[in-house]
């Protein structure tokens, strides 16, 4: 008998076809939103699950899934999963690093440029029919070229963003849990800085850190108030890394110039303050969303699940201490 697996979101046909070669698949072709109770019911007799950020895999849920052996997340971040609880239960957890690096870095630049040059605000102005004449001082933006770029989180994505900064002749500094080897710093043209020094120095602050209790509200009121009043914040990391309430205040009071955001606390709900502001560019968590990349992410999760349930070691196991 084939193992039984659940795929919580509508994935690509290629991915479903691949999974069907190995498993009995409970799919979600209508891409319904399942609440915790519905997810628990569906998982009750499953051996594995392909999840997304929208699924909270916590201890209570795991307790109701006695057969569960693997949770394979579509995404590099996996803060939606209680990895400790999975490890104790012998459940393998995997993520999808690498395949989304370049697309996500592209999008960080899309947000940075759109925010600096007020693209969405300018487009709304045109759509409203407000453009009746050319003005010298119309929609004045901020120069990106030659500016000071500060990156929090210098993993794969942070480094890919850093590589792109060269084309804009920017000066680059970063802050990370661990300092990079000197050779990597040299290749990227990036100097290490302490957190406060980076906030005070940067014209653009870009966040790429994973979410954890350590990075919860990494950027809060105190940090925002350290930034230059001309600075722009870009968050492609995770909701919760920024204190949204404090950011709304900082944007409203022009304590910082603007922000470009892809992620939010409590998403998909949006802090109502953001909607009223003109100096924020808002995207619905789509940094990795190109067809090629989302397909590669889903396929990576599927491959991880096949390895996990056929006695192999999945390539992207995040809890290697797990007892098979």
| Residues within the interface to ligand 8YV (CB under 6 A) | 52-53, 74-77, 100, 287-288
| C-beta closer to ligand 8YV: residue 77 or 260 | 77
Q: Minimum distance from CB of 75 to ligand 8YV (Å)?
A: 3
Q: Minimum distance from CB of 218 to ligand 8YV (Å)?
A: 16
| C-beta closer to ligand 8YV: residue 109 or 201 | 109
Q: Minimum distance from CB of 55 to ligand 8YV (Å)?
A: 9
Q: How many residues does the chain have?
A: 324
> Does 267 qualify as catalytic in the annotation?
yes
* Given the residues 56, 58, 216, 285, the one annotated as active site: 285
The tokens of 127 are what? 């759509």
Name the one residue in this structure whose structure tokens are 């808002």: 282
How far is it, in rounded angstroms, from Cα 183 to Cα 47? Answer: 44
Cβ burial, residue 152 (10 Å; 0-12/13-18/19+) = buried
The tokens of 92 are what? 């393998």
Task: Please report the sign of the dihedral spanned by the C-alpha atoms of residue 253, residue 256, residue 258, residue 262.
Answer: negative
| C-beta closer to ligand 8YV: residue 74 or 160 | 74
**Nearest-CA neighbor of 144 among 117, 174, 120?**
117
Q: Which residue is nearest to ligand 8YV (CB)?
A: 75
Q: Minimum distance from CB of 287 to ligand 8YV (Å)?
A: 6
* DSSP state string for 255-301: SSSEEEES--TTTTS--HHHHH-SSEEE--S-TT-SHHHHHHHHHHH
Q: Minimum distance from CB of 124 to ligand 8YV (Å)?
A: 26
> Does 285 qualify as catalytic in the annotation?
yes
| C-beta closer to ligand 8YV: residue 250 or 283 | 283
| C-beta closer to ligand 8YV: residue 103 or 176 | 103
How far is it, in rounded angstroms, from Cα 54 to Cα 267? Answer: 9
* Given the residues 238, 271, 294, 303, the one annotated as active site: 238
What letter does residue 166 receive in the DSSP assignment? Answer: G
* Given the residues 118, 267, 271, 303, the one annotated as active site: 267
Catalytic annotation, residues: 238, 267, 285
């Amino acid at each position: 008998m084939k193992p039984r697996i659940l795929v919580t979101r509508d994935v690509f046909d290629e991915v479903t076809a691949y999974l069907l070669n190995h498993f009995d698949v409970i799919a979600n072709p209508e891409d319904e939103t399942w609440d915790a109770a519905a997810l628990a019911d569906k998982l009750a007799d499953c051996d594995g699950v392909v999840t997304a950020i929208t699924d909270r895999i916590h201890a209570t849920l795991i307790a109701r899934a006695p057969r569960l052996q693997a949770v394979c997340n579509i995404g590099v971040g996996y803060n939606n999963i209680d990895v400790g609880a999975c490890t104790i239960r012998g459940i393998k957890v995997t993520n999808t690093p690498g395949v989304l690096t370049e697309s996500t870095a592209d999008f960080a630049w899309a947000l940075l440029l759109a925010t600096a040059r007020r693209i969405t605000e300018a487009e709304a102005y045109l759509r409203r029919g407000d453009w009746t004449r050319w003005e010298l001082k119309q929609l004045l933006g901020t120069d990106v070229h030659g500016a000071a770029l500060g990156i929090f989180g210098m993993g794969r994505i942070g480094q890919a963003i850093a590589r792109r900064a060269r084309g804009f002749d920017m000066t680059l500094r970063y802050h990370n849990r661990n300092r990079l080897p000197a050779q990597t710093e040299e290749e990227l043209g990036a100097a290490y800085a302490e957190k406060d020094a980076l906030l005070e120095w940067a014209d653009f602050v870009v966040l790429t850190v994973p979410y954890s209790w350590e990075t919860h509200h990494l950027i809060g009121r105190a940090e925002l108030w350290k930034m230059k009043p001309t600075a722009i914040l870009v968050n492609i990391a995770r909701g919760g890394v920024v204190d949204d309430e404090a950011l709304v205040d900082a944007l409203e009071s022009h304590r910082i110039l603007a922000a470009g955001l892809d992620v939010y606390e409590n998403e998909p709900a949006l802090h109502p303050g953001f909607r009223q502001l003109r100096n924020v560019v808002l995207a619905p968590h789509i940094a990795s969303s190109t067809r090629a990349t989302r397909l590669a992410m889903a396929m990576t999760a599927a491959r991880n699940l096949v390895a996990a349930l056929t006695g192999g070691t999945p390539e992207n196991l995040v809890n290697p201490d797990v007892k098979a």
